[in-house]
Structure 1
Amino acid sequence: MLIQSFTRNTRGRDLIVGDVHGCFSALQAHLDVLGFDPEVERLFCTGDLVDRGAESDLAKEWLSNKPWFYTVRGNHEA
């Protein structure tokens, strides 16, 4: 089991999302509404990045190309 610890984010917010299910455009739209700033903020996902949504293929891109994005493995990733 891999455990990762994070220091407190004193520069911005830490946001948590779950059950994205491949709806990455919707997630990005919500982040835009919230004024998410990837330079100082982080997004944590509780899993289930893929499954029903048409954009499940973007999960790999978000995991490898977004240094502010962290997730745990959900049952849909298993």
Structure 2
Amino acid sequence: MRNPYNYFFHHDTGTYQFITKNNITYRVAFIEDSTLTTVSTTGMTFDSIYQVVIEKISDELEPLDARVF
């Protein structure tokens, strides 16, 4: 099993961040999305639907890293 990176919560941005072995920083955010509360084909409604956003915030070109999955 792969060993993922340790992460930390960044209070100023409200996101989780981790730094890879190649010194690339990623930010992960969970954003509540109220536009997807009803599935039109079934009519089912849902509460608390979130988008997951993963963003590379370092400028460097990232080499392949098997621990980022």
TM-score for both structures, normalised by structure 2: 0.21
The structure where helix makes up a greater share of residues is: 1
TM-score w.r.t. the length of structure 1 is 0.20
Higher strand share: 2
